[in-house]
A and B are shown apart, each in its own frame.
Chain A
C-alpha cells in the first residue's frame, strides 16, 4: 500500500496515451507547416506568366495559332487535353465557331494534359511532334476525331499516334526523334505550367483576350466573341 500512496502523491506524469496524442498532434502540425513552407517557397503560383512581346494574350510566341486574324483581332485560347471527353465534345462546336468567325478572330491551342488520363501526354507529344513538321492542325483534328478509339485506355497509345503521323505523311524519323526529345515534353509542360499559373483547373478552359471565360453554354462563347468583336470594331 505504501507504494500506492507514494504514487498518488508524486506529481502525475503524463499518461503514455496522452503523450502519444501530443506527439501525434505535433507531427500533424509539423507536416502541414513543412508542406505550406515548401508551397510558398517554390511557387509564384497565381501570378500570371509574363506576357511576351509580340505574343497574343494568354499565349507565348511559340504557341500554335490555328487561325490568325492579326494582333488587333480578339484572341480565343483553348487549353485542351486530347483525351478529355469534354474537349472532344467541344471540338465540333469549336470547329463551327472557327468557321463562323473565320478571318475575324485568332484561335490558339495550348496543351493541358491531365495526369489521370494515361495518354493525354502521349497525345500532346504527338501533336507537338507534328507541329514541328508544320502539321499541328491535321494532328489536332485526328486526335479528336479518333478520341473514342483510344481514350480512357490504361495502356500507351503511342504506337497508334505514330500511325497517325504516318498517315499524315510526316517524316517518321524526325517524328520519332521529336517524341524522344525531352524538349518536346518540356514544350508541353510549359503550356501546362502557364495554364496552371493562369488558373486553369480543368479542360477545356477558354481565354478570350487573356480573360478566362466561365461557360455554361455554347451561346456564352459566341456572345463573348461577339462582344469582343464589337469592342475591337468600335475602338
Chain B
C-alpha cells in the first residue's frame, strides 16, 4: 500500500492538486496570450486605418512593433499571424476553463492540444529568429506571446508524456521524471537562452540605456 508510486510499470495518476494547478496555469497562460494576440490585431487595424499610426508597443528603434508588423514574416500564411493566436489561444483557454470546471478531456483532445502547442512553439521560435536576425527589432506584444507559448508547450507536453509513459523505454521514463520535477529550471533556462540572444544581438543598443 505504501509503494504504489515506486513500483515500476505502475501508471502514475497525478494527484488532483497537480491537475488543478495545470488547469489554472493553462487557463492563465492562454488568457495572457489571447490578450497579446488581440492587442497585435487591433494595432494592425489601426495601422490599416491610418498608416502613420504609431502602435502603443513601438517604444524605440529596437522595441518596435512598426518594423515587425511591416515585415513579410508578420503574415507568413497570407494573413496576419495574430489571427492564428486569437483562434489558438481561445481554444486553449476554453479547454483550460473546462478542466477547471471539472471536465475530463479525452486523450484524443490532449493529442490535439499537443499538436497545437507544438506548432505554436515551433512557430514562435521561427518568429523569434526572424525578429532577432532578419528584422532586427523586437515587438513587445510578440514577446508576450513567445513567453506564454513556452510554458504552455512544456505543461501540455509533460502531462501527455506522463500519461503515455508506459510506452516509453525505461531511460526515457526516468528522464521524464527528472524533467517533471525540474520543469521550472527547464523553463528558466529556455527563457534565459532567448533573453541572452536578444541581449547579445542588440548589445550596442541596450548599452546606450545604461548610463
Instruction: Give the shortest distance, in Å, between B122 (CB) and chain A (any CB).
Output: 22
Is B199's CB within 8 Å of the partner chain A? yes
Residue of A nearest to B191 (CB): A28
CB–CB B70/A116 < 8 A: no
List CB contacts (< 8 Å) of B173-211 with chain A: 181-185, 187-189, 192, 195-196, 199, 202, 204-205, 207-211
Residues of A within 8 A of B182 (CB): 16, 19-20, 23
Is B91's CB within 8 Å of the partner chain A? no
Is A183's CB within 8 Å of the partner chain B? no
CB–CB A27/B136 < 8 A: no
Is A31's CB within 8 Å of the partner chain B? yes
Is A231's CB within 8 Å of the partner chain B? no
Given A116-B64, A154-B134, does the pair A192, B192 have CB atoms closer than 8 Å? no
Provide the bound-state CA to CA distance between A35 and B207, in Å: 11
Instruction: Give the shortest distance, in Å, between A6 (CB) and chain B (any CB).
Output: 11
**Interface residue tally for chain A (C-beta within 8 Å):** 33
Provide the bound-state CA to CA distance between A31 and B40, in Å: 30
Residues of A within 8 A of B211 (CB): 45-46
For chain B, which range describes its interface: under 10, 10 to 19, 20 to 34, or 35 or more residues?
20 to 34
Instruction: Give the shortest distance, in Å, between B196 (CB) and chain A (any CB).
Output: 7
Instruction: Give the shortest distance, in Å, between A144 (CB) and chain B (any CB).
Output: 18
Provide the bound-state CA to CA distance between A118 and B4, in Å: 60
Interface string of B68-82 (1 = CB under 8 A from A): 001110000000000
Instruction: Give the shortest distance, in Å, between B15 (CB) and chain A (any CB).
Output: 13
Is B67's CB within 8 Å of the partner chain A? yes
Residue of B nearest to A30 (CB): B192
CB–CB B185/A23 < 8 A: yes
Is B61's CB within 8 Å of the partner chain A? yes
The secondary-structure label for the interface of chain B is helix
List CB contacts (< 8 Å) of A116-169 with chain B: 116-118, 152, 154
Interface string of A18-35 (1 = CB under 8 A from B): 011101100110010001
Provide the bound-state CA to CA distance between A21 and B186, in Å: 10
With a 10 A CB-CB cut-off, give which of B72, B137, B202, B208 has the most chain A CB atoms. Answer: B208
Task: Name 13 interchain pairs, CB-CB below 8 A, sorted by A.
Answer: A20-B183, A21-B184, A24-B184, A27-B189, A35-B199, A45-B210, A46-B211, A115-B137, A115-B202, A193-B204, A199-B208, A200-B208, A201-B208
Binding site for B on A (CB under 8 A): 1, 3-4, 16-17, 19-21, 23-24, 27-28, 31, 35, 39, 43, 45-46, 114-118, 152, 154, 192-193, 196, 199-203
Binding site for A on B (CB under 8 A): 2, 60-62, 64, 67, 70-72, 134-137, 181-185, 187-189, 192, 195-196, 199, 202, 204-205, 207-211
